[in-house]
Amino acid sequence: RASESPGVINRKGTLNFINIGELDGKKTERVDFVADIIRATGMECEITSDIRSEIFTKLLGNASLNPIGLLTTDFVDDAIQFEPTEKVVENIMHEVTALAGALGIKQKMSVHERLNISRSAGRHKVSMLQDFENRKTLETAAILEVTQELATLVDVKMPTFDAVVALALLKKKVLEIIEFTNKKTFEEKKMVRSEAQIFWRTSPEK
């Protein structure tokens, strides 16, 4: 899925479902309301009483494939089919599973099952790479850094994940420098044009 503009999401790929729910597991009017909106788009939507497990199932892919996709600028299926990067992805998924266990959250899906889903999802780029290519703010805080904070809270070591996150944050910094430089260059060009226009209008020869 890719956000094209505020409130507009363009969904691509074969996956056509989403799970939502309250943190306390209760079924509420607002959850029903959101579910009805999602279903009206043609997507399947299930209301779950264990949203934390669903979040960590999603995190298995997000915490591993997103930074790898960002760093390699490659498609998901290529990253999984190439043995060295597949091993990195698998190691991170195992680390996320260990974190979930330490937090008392039961994973509903094994690492092997999650890898198979990614293999069957079709040729696509992760959202973090799409954001990078479109010069949008990267989701590093919401996906990567918050995972590190949780690991610190329960003293779970995630060496592979930490190494990949460090590289992803560096790439984010590079993007920010590029954007700052481009903006500064644009502002400088505007200033030069303005000064030229002022000179032209006030020139004694005119």
- Residue 125: name the closest of 81, 164, 78 by CA: 78
Q: Indicate which residue of 58, 108, 157, 183 is catalytic.
A: 58
The answer to whether the CB of 58 falls within 8 A of the CB of 87 is: no
**Is 58 annotated as catalytic?**
yes
Q: How many CB atoms lie within 10 A of CB 189?
A: 10
What radius of gyration do the chain's Cα atoms show? Answer: 22
Asked if residue 92 lies in contact with residue 64, where contact means CB atoms within 8 angstroms, the answer is yes
The candidate with the shortest Cα–Cα distance to 153, out of 92, 104, 107, is: 104
Instruction: Give catalytic residue positions.
Output: 58
